[in-house]
């Protein structure tokens, strides 16, 4: 038996389908973004919109936001004045006679109401070690995206990634740094063998189109460690080198039948943001990337797993306009930072190409630019990080804890045909190099980095 709650009249109709024993959910209706949302109440606001009276201006998030036109209509649901409960059996004929709205909302409903458990702000998860000379040791981990090589040669249904860990030391006064990997220097094959011995091989049978475990980001969120697969769109909770699916991110606006291509992840205002590379390079549009291009959306996830699908097309276009990139040129983002203290975004594009995409040209379009952007995307500033190297592009970056979000550790990757190389570099937000770019190893592509 299904219980259908229809709210309002011709102007506002929405339904939520509940199990027969789930009637308590009606009590949990919220003013906006809750269990019942009307099509009239969902609007995609332009980048220049103003904040709602008494509310927060979230234009800085670049979000397709929820806006309540008339709060009283929502509140009246609780009073029951406009709520009609109809019982519909599972008989197909009976169900087909029911008038159910067909509007597809571009927001996912939460699995359960917001938890009262406070957000866990622990970061990093391992307590740093402070020395008498003022230097501090942090544990750091990087995660591999092997692309096609992630598929197990012996067990075709299994996919593999590798975790590599080490100790990063920031010197007193934040004047420099160094990193020592637990395994020392080794070849790619040796790194895989050592990872297997140390239990740092991460395997899963979750795949899409014979591909999986192509982990592009690793992030600490709500006191837990999460990794994202850019093929399945699954965000996994990483528990002792075992991946447990947490949420599945559908592509684009959340209505597409394939997984979101997760490339970067950050925490902003106690929400997890997961983004893609933004470039619509396979099907470039004469007038610029389409609003519906799946790579132009960003996912915002609450600690309870509630997913919002955010249209970032205006924000990505603002970045491209700042860089002077016009179609068929493109910019690819895989390393993004958000500073809670400074309320600024930091974008380190992996590729900037003023020309059209070709497989031959693409690997040689990497750069050394960091774009500092105000929260409302009204101010932009470029900062050069070291010397330009068209072969190595940024794939991940994190602020060093305890440095007031002014010191950054970043990964730079070379990917030409089947040749891979991973490097690490440390710099401050003014562009001064604190640790000269050094190679991690050749033959294995590490795309995600996090302090753990």
CATH number of residue 141's parent domain: 2.120.10.100
* Predicted confidence band of residue 152 (pLDDT cuts 50, 70, 90): confident
Whether 259 and 353 map to the same domain: the answer is yes
- 411 pLDDT above the threshold of 90: yes
Whether 377 and 300 map to the same domain: the answer is yes
Whether 242 and 133 map to the same domain: the answer is yes
* Predicted confidence band of residue 4 (pLDDT cuts 50, 70, 90): very low
186 labelled binding-site residue: no
* Predicted confidence band of residue 286 (pLDDT cuts 50, 70, 90): low
**Number of folded domains in the chain?**
2
Token pair 């092997």 is found at: 146
The CA-to-CA distance between both ends of the chain, in Å, stands at 47
Whether 335 and 188 map to the same domain: the answer is yes
Both tokens assigned to 211: 């591909």
Q: What is the pLDDT of residues 163-190, one digit of tens each?
A: 999 999 999 999 999 999 987 656 667 7
Inside any domain, residue 277: yes
Whether 246 and 301 map to the same domain: the answer is yes
* Predicted confidence band of residue 418 (pLDDT cuts 50, 70, 90): confident
Inside any domain, residue 185: yes
CB 188 within 8 Å of CB 441: yes
Whether 159 and 293 map to the same domain: the answer is yes
Inside any domain, residue 116: no
405 labelled binding-site residue: no
197 labelled binding-site residue: no
pTM of the model: 0.75
Q: What is the pLDDT of residues 208-217, one digit of tens each?
A: 777 777 899 9
Domain that holds residue 324: 129-451
Inside any domain, residue 101: no
Inside any domain, residue 11: yes
Whether 169 and 312 map to the same domain: the answer is yes
Whether 418 and 366 map to the same domain: the answer is yes
Inside any domain, residue 361: yes
Whether 383 and 315 map to the same domain: the answer is yes
Whether the bond into 294 is cis, omega within 30 of 0: no
Round the CA-based radius of gyration of the chain to a whole number and report it: 23
Whether 307 and 184 map to the same domain: the answer is yes
Whether 190 and 258 map to the same domain: the answer is yes
* Predicted confidence band of residue 316 (pLDDT cuts 50, 70, 90): very high
Top-confidence residue, 396 or 60: 396
Whether 155 and 70 map to the same domain: the answer is no
Inside any domain, residue 224: yes
C-alpha triplet 169, 171, 176: angle, nearest 5°: 95
């Amino acid at each position: 038996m299904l219980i259908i709650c229809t709210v309002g009249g011709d102007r506002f109709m929405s339904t939520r389908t509940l199990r027969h024993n789930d009637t308590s959910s009606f009590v949990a209706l919220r003013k906006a973004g809750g269990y019942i949302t009307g099509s009239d109440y969902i609007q995609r606001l332009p980048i220049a919109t103003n904040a709602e009276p008494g509310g927060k201006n979230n234009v800085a998030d670049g979000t397709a936001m929820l806006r309540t036109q008339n709060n009283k209509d929502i509140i009246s649901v609780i009073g029951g004045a406009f709520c009609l409960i109809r019982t519909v059996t599972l008989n197909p004929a009976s169900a087909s006679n029911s008038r159910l709205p067909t509007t597809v909302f571009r927001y996912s409903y939460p699995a359960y109401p917001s938890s009262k458990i406070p957000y866990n702000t622990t970061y990093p998860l391992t307590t740093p070690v402070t020395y008498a000379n003022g230097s501090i040791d942090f544990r750091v981990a990087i995660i591999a995206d092997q692309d096609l090589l992630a598929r197990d040669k012996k067990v075709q249904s299994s996919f593999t990634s590798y975790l590599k860990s080490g100790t990063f030391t920031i010197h007193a006064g934040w004047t420099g740094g160094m990193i020592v990997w637990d395994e020392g220097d080794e070849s790619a094959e040796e790194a895989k063998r050592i990872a297997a011995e140390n239990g740092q091989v991460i395997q899963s049978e979750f795949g899409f189109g014979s591909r999986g475990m192509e982990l592009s980001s690793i992030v600490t969120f709500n006191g837990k460690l999460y990794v994202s697969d850019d093929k399945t769109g699954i965000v996994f909770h990483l528990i002792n080198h075992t991946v447990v699916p947490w949420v599945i991110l559908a592509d684009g606006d959340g209505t597409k039948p394939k997984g979101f291509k997760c490339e970067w992840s950050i925490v902003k205002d106690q929400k997890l943001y997961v983004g893609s590379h933004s470039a619509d390079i396979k099907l470039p549009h004469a007038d610029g990337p389409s609003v519906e291009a799946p790579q132009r959306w960003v996912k915002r996830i609450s600690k309870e797993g509630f997913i919002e699908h955010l249209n970032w097309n205006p924000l990505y276009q603002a970045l491209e306009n700042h860089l002077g990139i016009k179609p068929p040129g493109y910019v690819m983002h895989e390393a993004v930072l958000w500073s809670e203290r400074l309320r600024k975004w930091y974008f380190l594009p992996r590729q900037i190409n003023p020309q059209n995409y070709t497989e031959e040209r693409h690997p040689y379009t990497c750069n050394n630019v960091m774009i500092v952007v105000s929260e409302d995307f009204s101010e932009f500033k470029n900062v050069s990080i070291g010397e330009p190297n068209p072969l190595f592009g940024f794939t991940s970056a994190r602020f060093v804890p305890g440095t007031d979000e002014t010191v950054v550790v970043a990964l730079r990757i070379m990917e030409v045909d089947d040749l891979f190389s991973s490097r690490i570099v440390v710099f401050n937000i003014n562009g001064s190099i604190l640790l000269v770019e050094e190679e991690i190893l050749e033959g294995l592509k590490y795309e995600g980095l996090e302090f753990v």
